[in-house]
DNA sequence: TTTTATTTTCAATAATTATTGAAAGTTTTA
DNA sequence: TAAAACTTTCAATAATTATTGAAAATAAAA
């Protein structure tokens, strides 16, 4: 059961999947996880674990782990196909939704812990010149992080149209 | 030649350096690179390769590689200390500048190549239903990526005050 | 020039992270 | 209930990435 139908198109899809996988690593994302998502994204129908295994040439365990992680990130869904016993998976095709979901998750997992730690470190019982300077750096780090966090919050809440047209225009001036 | 003077403060600095290092890995940044930068950021004076080696307990080669990379990213500078033959290094203390520099570099290294590849893939010689759908996904990915790229451009050009107050307020409504 | 101080490189190695595959677990069907 | 279909887990292993350290290169001083 392959998702492929035309040659040139197939090549382009494969290239997209490969490219996405290698780009992912520079963002601290597992290569296979990115590839599985890319595959589901360009697939016209939900795929089973076996479909993914065959297409990406990876083991059952690997597929399972990465599909779970993607579901955990909220960017892949289980699908029930009538007449089929096994599970199928699909990725939402709304890219703005995808962007918002990823942003939301990374914010929660990576930015919020940073803010927490920076705030903790601020509480030093020391008022020397050097300590003041250190606290200043921490405070500035907090400030930037909080601002970015706030911007991401707004982006998550924004609907597609607003973010696309309105937002970019406002930004310009 | 150690940069340390007070106990509690010293602990906090160490904790900050360690924490930064481990957080960095989830952003696809080398742990040591992040630690070296953190160390230079909280240091009151420029440090030599040996200072860094001692404090972080890492090899000369490792220090050299990572300091070069940081200089390459534009967030660490060489300093010439009078009466000293060896090189010293320092990190700029302006966190907004740091944020802008990092954003600029990641944009160049990671976002712009994505846009290029997505555009390349668009050029498929196929008009089937499936091809249309694939092109739609690619187009949407381009759209989001370009928008994010644009926002980052504005952020880079924006001065601290504008980004902090004006921007966040605009975003709110 | 030669010596000495310092930086850079890079093959070898260590540490980390990802992947396999088979066994154990679960759910469905008969 | 047992057998079949499928999913999950995880110890072993592979692949990747980071680090060392000593030799080569470079730069400054004598």
The answer to whether residue A2 sits within a structural domain is no
Do A56 and A99 lie in one domain? The reply is no
Do A73 and A130 lie in one domain? The reply is no
A 59-78 near B (Cβ less than 8 A) = none
pLDDT of amino acid A172: 38
Write down which residue in A91, A112, A128 finishes a domain.
Answer: A91
Provide the residue-wise pLDDT of chain B in tens; the chain has 173 residues.
444 455 589 999 999 999 999 999 888 899 999 999 999 999 999 999 999 999 999 999 999 999 999 999 999 999 999 999 999 999 999 999 999 999 999 999 989 999 999 999 998 889 999 999 999 999 999 999 998 898 888 888 877 555 555 444 443 33
Distance in angstroms (rounded) separating the CA atoms of residues B140 and A163:
13
Percent over 90 (pLDDT), chain B: 71
Is there a contact between B102 and A141 (Cβ–Cβ < 8 Å)? no
The answer to whether residue B156 sits within a structural domain is yes
Structural domain range at position A29:
7-91
Closest CB to B6: pick one of A126, A147, A148. Answer: A126
Asked if the Cβ–Cβ distance from A144 to B13 is below 8 Å, we say no
pLDDT of amino acid A169: 42
Q: Which nucleotides of C are covered by protein (CB under 7 A)?
A: 5-11, 16-22, 28-29
Q: Which of the 8 DSSP states describes residue A90? A: E
Number of domains in chain B: 2
Do B16 and B59 lie in one domain? The reply is yes
Write down which residue in A91, A106, A126 finishes a domain.
Answer: A91
Do A17 and A52 lie in one domain? The reply is yes
Q: Is some CB atom of chain A closer than 8 A to the CB atom of B168? A: yes
The answer to whether residue B15 sits within a structural domain is yes
Rounded to whole angstroms, the distance from the CA of residue B27 to the C1' of nucleotide C8 is 28
Residues of B in contact with A162 (CB under 8 A): none
Task: Tell me the average pLDDT across A123-133.
Answer: 91
Distance in angstroms (rounded) separating the CA atoms of residues B138 and B126:
14
User: Would you place residue A88 in the very low, low, confident or very high pLDDT band (cuts 50, 70, 90)?
Assistant: very high
CATH code of the domain containing B61: 1.10.10.10
Write down which residue in A91, A117, A146 finishes a domain.
Answer: A91
According to DSSP, the residues that pair with B89 across neighbouring strands are B47, B78
The answer to whether residue A1 sits within a structural domain is no
């Amino acid at each position: 059961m392959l998702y492929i139908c035309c040659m040139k198109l197939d090549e382009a899809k494969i290239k997209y999947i490969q490219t996405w996988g290698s780009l992912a690593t520079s963002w601290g994302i597992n290569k296979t996880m990115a590839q599985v998502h890319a595959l589901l994204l360009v697939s016209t129908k939900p795929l089973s674990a076996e479909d993914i295994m065959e297409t990406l040439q990876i083991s059952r365990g690997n597929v399972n782990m990465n599909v779970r992680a993607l579901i955990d990130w909220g960017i892949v869904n289980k699908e029930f196909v009538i007449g089929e016993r096994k599970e199928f998976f699909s990725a939402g095709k709304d890219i703005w939704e995808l962007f918002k979901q990823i942003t939301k998750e990374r914010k929660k997992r990576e930015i919020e812990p940073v803010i927490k730690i920076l705030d903790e470190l601020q509480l030093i019982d020391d008022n020397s010149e050097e300590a003041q300077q250190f606290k200043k750096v921490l405070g500035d780090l907090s400030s930037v992080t909080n601002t970015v966090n706030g911007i991401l919050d707004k982006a998550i809440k924004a609907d597609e149209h607003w973010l696309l047209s309105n937002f970019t225009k406002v930004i310009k001036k």
